[in-house]
Amino acid sequence: MAVREQAVQRLEGALADPGFSWTLCMVGEDQSQKFSQLTGELRAPFSRTGDGKRISSGFSYWGVESTVAWVHACSDLFYPVMRESIESFTRRWQQIGSGLEGQRYHYVSLGTGTGHKDHTVLERLRRNHPDLCYIPVDVSPEMLRLGQREALRNLGVPAGSVVPVQLDFSAGQNVMGLRRLVERLVGDEPVVYSLLGNTLANFEDDTALLALLTGQLLRPQDRFMLEVASTDRLDEDSASAAAREYRASPRFGEFVTSAVMQYTDLQIDMESVSFDAAVEDDRALLVKVVYRNRTGGQLRLTLPDRSSVEFPDEDTIRLLTTRKYSRAGVDKMLADAEAVEVGRTGSGFNAAFGEPQFGMDLVLLQSGATGNRPVPPPNPFR
């Protein structure tokens, strides 16, 4: 044990080198398999509606180019939803964080983003637990490094208390592995997990992912903090307004096309990027960002494995999926995922007269799984 403790101390000393910035990272999966998955998704059949070829969530942020493009988009004056969600987060977190007082929580961040929100969460949690363990998790090592740097800025968290994990948390096997890792690091001590920045909305089956995360990760003593974009109306005019919000930001357009530029040889024409919006099952405004071949002829794309695939006229590549949820839509999703709400707060952004009210909701959850955990209330949507 003494030898192990000495090794840990030496490692912490190396990471604290003031002359160089080191990032320790645990890699939880074979990255070559991720390339295989990406290539397979770009080989999907023809679709005019963005339901064939795609860049799935996670790959949109994978790589230096995509990470830098995302940071630029978050600060774009023409992309207010993300900028204002960051600026309003401190107030919303103060309101919902009061429900965590009196406990010493560790913190696991699923999708670190720019790190600004993690910084706010850590600052408060460390008041009760100065020795907490911070575990940022992301599929992108570049995003992990950037987000961790901002999250820890001026907090004085020891290097040995930070365990970055490169992992795709949308895969069931990976989630189970993450749970075992967290338990080995913190034992029975409670943990706050977070999925912020409307990340859940980027996944095709968002409810299934939420059920996986809350069902597999949460123990009775743990909590889960979910942030989603909100809307007060579900109609075609509101869906069009949601699409315009994304379309108005040049830097957001650069971000959504960065992955396909990085992993194919497609010459991007921004006029070929479409923002297709609709009302989804009376629960959310769904926006699909697609790249459509409008050349009038067939193209051929070179993929990451150096193979190629036909890209016919009018065929599409889905670049991103996102949503804005109604209050009832969030309630139904939580009920279907068997997650129990213990707190919620929201923030609406300025809207012109007659326009829909968009905002961000922050929801605090605990597990509703049966057994020795709290039993969820009856699901009124079944």
pLDDT for the residue numbered 160: 82
**CB neighbour class for 177 (10 Å; exposed up to 12, middle 13-18, buried from 19):** middle
Closest CA to 164 of 139, 137, 126, 193: 137
pLDDT for the residue numbered 131: 93
pLDDT for the residue numbered 169: 94
pTM of the model: 0.90
pLDDT for the residue numbered 102: 80
Q: How far apart are CA 224 and CA 363, in angstroms?
A: 8
The per-residue b/e assignment along 9-32, b for 16 or more CB within 10 angstroms, e otherwise, is eeeeeebeeeeeeeeebeebeeee
Q: How far apart are CA 126 and CA 97, in angstroms?
A: 12
Q: How far apart are CA 128 and CA 97, in angstroms?
A: 12
Going by their DSSP bridges, the two strands 53-54 and 316-325 should be labelled as parallel
What is the secondary structure of 11-50 as a DSSP string?
A: HHHHHT-TTS-----EE-S-HHHHHHHHHHHTTPPP-SSS
Chunked mean pLDDT (size 10), the chain, 382 residues: 61 69 76 83 95 88 85 82 83 89 93 93 94 94 90 89 92 94 95 96 96 96 96 96 92 93 93 96 95 96 92 97 96 95 86 80 86 43 38
pLDDT for the residue numbered 287: 97
| Cβ atoms 316, 290 nearer than 8 A | yes
Local structure of 244: helix, strand or coil:
helix
Phi, psi of 217 (to 5 degrees): -90, -40
pLDDT for the residue numbered 374: 43
Phi, psi of 58 (to 5 degrees): 110, -55
Q: How far apart are CA 238 and CA 226, in angstroms?
A: 23
pLDDT for the residue numbered 75: 81
pLDDT for the residue numbered 56: 86
Phi, psi of 355 (to 5 degrees): -85, 155
Going by their DSSP bridges, the two strands 53-54 and 339-348 should be labelled as unpaired
| Cβ atoms 144, 138 nearer than 8 A | yes
